[in-house]
Chains A and B, each alone.
Chain A
């Protein structure tokens, strides 16, 4: 092992504690620049263990720029992109290639003139399988590759600066001494929890803030109910006459319990537009909304993917839709307009 490699190895070992064995293995497999390497290396493991970072750092510091190509299959998800980018990394020039044949030819030309090994690293390599059926076998047939499997490294980095600010705040304010870790941690805990909660959640900007009319919210709720309640229960739940006649909580409870296991988990079912509008009329009795407005609003919801159209657009006689909103969201907006959704649904949904 040359001194340079030794130095790089020591740096990496310090930087990635607990990964000494893996780093040694990798360096050993790559060996001296003129030596041959295994045709392909597959690196895999649980999320956020440092797979990507170690490989990235190793190549960045240990190899000249044009000797390797590092590409993340999440960013380059098309065949052409992968070809173009990897060739650009290896040769520094822009190549256009339309198919595998050209790609292999150009690669061959690049590697022919070089004595040292060229590396291609694919992060999130499992996505390659989705691209084309033969791509992986094609790639494995070419000589030298490194694969690195899935890794969402590391969303934590995004929030750490903010958290650190909060962490040192009590010290700056002079309330807590630097060494009092347990107190500091207690102060930090609420921030940490909320930050972790937000880490993966994708916020949809609440529709309420966009100030859509109240009746549109009723339409959303109506579509949600239509998607989750079987049609056979409509009469019982939404008909006013029925309600007058027989209105015991017990009966309703029994019905909704029956829903529990079937409808809850199969997801929203498609429902005819007429039915959605009928439910809408039943739950929204304040004023009459023009039919055309309802149609327009429905189209808007379809465009923003809140609804999914399940029948072809060309069919004019019957149109059915499905509501894609989650139960939590519906609960939230019904609270906003003071609508008691639990009247219709069991809480276990």
Chain B
């Protein structure tokens, strides 16, 4: 590294940071779709047929979360609107929000700018819709969480909805986005038989090479972001160096192998290092990434280590009960077990030893906290029993309690003695 410390303009750093953050938060539409080029072409051709030739189509996009379904659609729509500008309209529906016929209908008409009265029936609305709108502009309807949409809306409604696509007056493309592979078997058969579907399966990156390429693309910048050529060249060079770093490779590998949603996990980890870009630190550095990984890594061990002494006493009592074949327990049992141990210990060690018993109501509050954190969970039934007697179950293994207690050096010795 050269000793000459070149100062970069604050503006270009801020611009870079902003652009990268936009990518990481999922707002930006990326320039290239790594590994999805084929699917992109497929979808583009389909939608192009609707917009250009007025052909109605129905298409399903199926794939696991974070594989780029939404990105694919957004990218295609962006391309189309650049090409045709305002010659078509887009409607977005989401199966999570539009949970019944009424809301779906209202949302549909709202986005198309059609006014309907409350009391108008579905049939009338669909007729209105079928007859075409604004000089029969092609319409693209995107439905997120398509499986929920089909589940929540009534069958006739979905049927009618699909029926519009067969109408000649109004060219329409219906894109359903879903994670459920079983979507075709879930659809009612009369709907299935009526329409022909094209479906595009989007898979997550199959090899680590593709994923690495994707990750690199996310962090590299070019002249569309800033004009400062020297800065972005050096910036990209540093990113390149990062990807050659052994420990960074490890991070990427870990994400690829362990996460369910690899893309979002990668975004999550990158956010902090990117946020730290400033005049004093104009480039991404390795240590920030390692730190972010450490922080983002939430596991049960960390939560357990943060527990305080009364909470640990509860866990110990539960462990002691489980040693006597009691997998289910309630507060009365826990407190009894705890009090017995303390009393027995005091008898054994004579008058020298004095340990105050934690008051019942204090321990109860701690138990409630453990329940909030889902370390213990209520067993179904017995809902109308007084609180102290409601049965609960441990969600961690008894061995985890042993590990936790024996590895903690700050705890008093008589606490540790209980597990041995």
Instruction: Decide: B110 and A105 in contact? CB cutoff 8 A.
Output: yes
Residues on A with C-beta less than 8 A from B210 are: none
Instruction: Decide: A36 and B99 in contact? CB cutoff 8 A.
Output: no
Instruction: Decide: A36 and B307 in contact? CB cutoff 8 A.
Output: no
For A135, give the chain B residue with the smallest CB separation: B96
Known contacts A101-B98, A137-B96: A266-B272 contact under CB 8 Å: no
Instruction: Decide: B295 and A138 in contact? CB cutoff 8 A.
Output: no
Is A20's beta carbon under 8 Å from chain B?
no
Q: Give per-residue flags for A76-114: 1 if the beta carbon is below 8 A from chain B beta carbons, else 0.
A: 000000000000000000000001111011000000000
CA–CA, A25 to B135, complex, Å?
53
Residues on B with C-beta less than 8 A from A29 are: 271-272, 275
Within 8 A of A (CB), among B220-269: 267-268
- Of the four ranges (under 10, 10 to 19, 20 to 34, 35 or more), the interface on chain B belongs to 35 or more
Known contacts A36-B27, A100-B97: A326-B388 contact under CB 8 Å: yes
Known contacts A200-B364, A201-B361: A35-B97 contact under CB 8 Å: no
Residues on B with C-beta less than 8 A from A201 are: 361
CA–CA, A242 to B182, complex, Å?
70
Is A150's beta carbon under 8 Å from chain B?
yes
Partner of B21, one of A25, A37, A138, A196: A37
For A36, give the chain B residue with the smallest CB separation: B25
Known contacts A197-B359, A308-B384: A100-B25 contact under CB 8 Å: no
Is B18's beta carbon under 8 Å from chain A?
yes
Is A172's beta carbon under 8 Å from chain B?
no
Is A282's beta carbon under 8 Å from chain B?
no
Instruction: Decide: B97 and A267 in contact? CB cutoff 8 A.
Output: no
Residues on A with C-beta less than 8 A from B278 are: 1
Is B120's beta carbon under 8 Å from chain A?
no
CA–CA, A172 to B279, complex, Å?
56
Known contacts A47-B369, A268-B389: A34-B333 contact under CB 8 Å: no
Residues on B with C-beta less than 8 A from A202 are: 361
Instruction: Decide: A150 and B388 in contact? CB cutoff 8 A.
Output: no
Is A264's beta carbon under 8 Å from chain B?
yes
17 residue pairs from A and B, CB less than 8 Å apart: A31-B17, A34-B18, A36-B18, A37-B21, A37-B25, A44-B298, A46-B307, A100-B97, A137-B96, A138-B96, A141-B144, A196-B362, A265-B329, A265-B389, A267-B382, A267-B388, A268-B385
Given contacts A36-B22, A266-B389, A324-B386, 19 further A-B contacts (CB under 8 A): A28-B272, A28-B276, A29-B271, A37-B25, A38-B24, A38-B271, A39-B25, A47-B369, A99-B103, A101-B107, A104-B94, A134-B96, A134-B148, A152-B365, A200-B361, A200-B364, A202-B361, A265-B330, A326-B388
